[in-house]
Structure formats: structure tokens, C-alpha cells
Amino acid sequence: MAAPARRLLASLNLLTSLLLLGVLFIMVNFVSSRRYARWDLTKQRITALSDQTTQTLKALTEPLSIIVFYQPNQRLYGLIKDQLAEYERFGSAITVEYVDPQQDIARAKQLAQQFAIQDLNLVIFQSGSRHKYLSDTDLAEYDFGAARMGGEPRVKAFKGEEAFTSAIISVTRAESPLIWVTTGHGEKSMDAADPSGLSQLKQSLQQQNMSVETATLLERTEIPSTVKLVVVAGPTHRFAEAEVSLLLAYLKNGGRLLALLDPLVDSGLDGLLEQWGLRVGADIVVDPARQLPFVSAANLFITTYTAHPIVEKMKTLMTLYPLARSVRPAEPAPEGITAMPLALTSPQGWGESQTAVEAFEFNDGEDLKGPVSIAAAAEQASSRARIVVIGDSDFAMNAQLDNVGNRDMLLGALYWLIAQEQLIGIGPRTIDTIKLTLTAAQLTGIFWFSLLALPLTCGMLGVGMWLLRRQ
């Protein structure tokens, strides 16, 4: 074969190889854009989704639109984008649109008119005619320590999954669950923003698209079926017989009740709860084995939980109760009712029957032997009624709600009561700041190593290679 022909053939082979490589490259990119895997390898797994969220996303049937109305230079933008990429991966009905309000002015004006937006940096969820938007404060917890010295607040924890999943459930749900909070018996106020109020709890419920109303039961002839949950939050006076009858009728029709009952108080609800398989003790629960420093043994911190759906995700969390009474399943259990404890003291704890004494001492035969349950749940399969009783209301007040697992405990009970178990266990992801602290001697060593030792080592290696080549 002549040389020109060989050169032409070689050129054609090279061209064909390059074309095949190009086609292969395009095919690999096409397949990888549709079939790929993502892993969150961060220590806190900030953007990884829980099983509850993935189940919610896979169950979506209606189209869901998420609009990120955010400036890209904002501190949460990167976290939001990474988190929503996971939502898109598991939710085929989800579409995400990113709108920079400073760059895409026409689209920004359109959205501002459509959703009555007055602020920047929002994430908007829309399904059909329903929509909800989340702001910075809904998506993160901030540490304002640096702000007091003129610096920027630090993002302490990212609440993206909790906020996004609850927003999705809110806009894809036909109606908002109505919650009644009883009043008239000295209960804690859901509107009070002082340390002993429950305004933070109310805000958390409203963020989950729940409607919260106060109700005086004595003024009612019945509790409507539209009320999904009745909350009794720390009464200091007895409920009247007529009110107890209303609650009993409500439960027999499948109602749901959350009772936060403090010790040393006769609420008048003990008989009702006994009928539904729960016994409230006339005691104070103490646990010297888990005693906080410098305070009474009656200040409980709990780390033992059962396998009930409310608390099964809380194995690594503790909850704090300033003063609690025992709440346990009644024995024998009423027919058709399943009751289960939720949170327990250590075996060294007990229910102190002598509530007026200053020094607690276990008396066998008089006191309730540990481990003692301070919270319990009951359910009747036939009517689908559910009850949760916790032997303390102070743990839910504004001054205590953010302590360790207190909010998780309370929201877990609420989600279970209104049959939204898929939200239990979704909490904020803490963002750790890693700091490297070096001594003056260590800094000096690094300086001389980078300025002298490293260049000198490279120079010696170069000289060595030059000598080897000469030989």
C-alpha cells in the first residue's frame, strides 16, 4: 500500500476513534444525568433526607412547585439548593425554580403580585390553589452571640428538612387540622410570650399549618368532629363534671386528647383517664441517679424511652422536666384499649408519695418503685381515639421548650395524635464550627517549615536528580 494511502487510512481511523469517543462521552453524560447517586458524607448529614420525608415524597400525587425566591449570595442559599436537590431526586411530582429577585426583575414582580410577597429570600411551596412560604427564621436557628459584638449571627442549626416537609404536607393537604386549647382552669396561655407562656409552641403548630383556638368547654354543648385535637396545658383548677362529660363523649367518637398535668394539682381528669387506660399518680417523681448538679432530684432529665412511635426516634436525646408526676398504663387495661409508657426514669428513680418533704427518701410499700413512667399514650382501635398524658407542663413553656429534646417530645406527641407520624423525628441539623487553635510555638514551626524547610527539601531533590542524570 502506498504511503499516501496509509496516511489517509490512519487519519480515517483516528477520526473514527475520536467520533466514537465523542458519542460514548455524550451517551455516558445522558445516562448519568438521569441515573445517578448522591451521598451526603458530612458528619452531621445536613442535607440527607429521613425515611419519613422520602415516604412523603414518594406518596405525592399532585404536582408540587417550589420557588426559591432567594439571592444567591445569602448564607442559606447553598444549603437550600443542596437540600432541594434531594427532594427533587425522591419526588417525581416536584419541580424547583430558582429566581434571583435582583437579576430577574420581571419574574420577581410577577411572583410578588401572585403571592403578595413583601420580603426577599423566601422559599414558596405551591400545589393547586394552596401555597405557603418559608423565611430565613423558619429555616435556621441562629447564634446571636457574635451579633452583640458587631458581627453577623452564626447559623447554629439548619431546619430545612423539617420546614420543607411540613410545608409540603400543608399545601398538599385539603384542610388545616383544628386544635382546641382549653382555658378557664388556670392553664398556660398559648399567646403569652413570657418565659411561662406557650407562644413558641403555638408558633410551631401554626408553622405546621395547624389552626389553634382557645376554647372554654363550659360554654359548649359538644366538641365538634372538626376539632382534631384537644390540648389541656397545665390546669391549676378542676374541670367541671359537665366538661369531663364533653371530653368523654368526644373521645368515644374518635377524638384526640393531649393532657399536660402537673403534680400537686387535682385537675378532675383522673377518672376520665383511668377509663382510657392511663393512671396519673399523686406523687412527685425523683431520680437521684440522674440528678442535675446543684438542684433537687425532682428536676428530672430522662434518657430512657420505649419503642412507641412518639419516642422511638429519641434514643440519643434527653428531655428535661422541672417537676413531674408519674403517668403509667392502668392495670388491668380496659377492654379494647392499648396503653404504653413513653419516658422512664432510671431503676433508681421512684414516685415520692410524701410530696411535702424536703429530703426525698424511698419508702417501700408507699412509694412507686422505679423505673417510673412520667408519660404514656393510649389508643382505642375501634373508635381510633388517642390520648397522650405527660406528667408536667413546665417542660413545654417558652423557657424550657428549646432544651435538648423537649420540642421533639412534644411535637412527636402532637404528630402521633393527629395521625401525622411521618413527621416524627425530623429535627434541625446542627452545624458544627471546627476551629484549629495553635500555640505560638506551633505557628513559628509552621512558618519556618513553609519558608525554609520545604523549599530547601525541593532544592536538594532537584540537585540529587541532576547528579543522577550526569552519571
pTM for the whole structure: 0.70
Residue 66 has pLDDT above 80, yes or no: yes
pLDDT digits (tens, 9 = 90+) for 181-240: 999 999 999 999 999 999 989 887 876 778 899 999 999 999 999 999 999 999 999 999
How much is the pLDDT for 188?
96
Average pLDDT value for residue range 124-145? 80
Asked if pLDDT for residue 35 goes beyond 70, the answer is no
Q: Higher pLDDT residue, 148 or 170? A: 170
51-169 is classed in which CATH architecture? 3-Layer(aba) Sandwich (3.40)
8 Å CB contact between 121 and 70:
yes
Q: Report d(CA 332, CA 339) in Å as an integer.
A: 10
Residue 344: pLDDT band by 50, 70, 90 thresholds? Answer: very high
Lowest-pLDDT range of 6-15, 294-303, 385-394: 6-15
Q: Where in the chain is the domain with CATH 3.40.30.10?
A: 51-169
Query: Does residue 321 contact residue 349 with C-beta atoms inside 8 Å?
Result: no
Residue range(s) in the chain whose domain bears CATH number 3.40.50.880? 178-427
Higher pLDDT, 6 or 104: 104
pLDDT of residue 123: 92
Q: Which fold has domain 178-427?
A: Rossmann fold (3.40.50)
Q: Residue 435 above 60 pLDDT?
A: no
Residue 38 has a pLDDT of 52
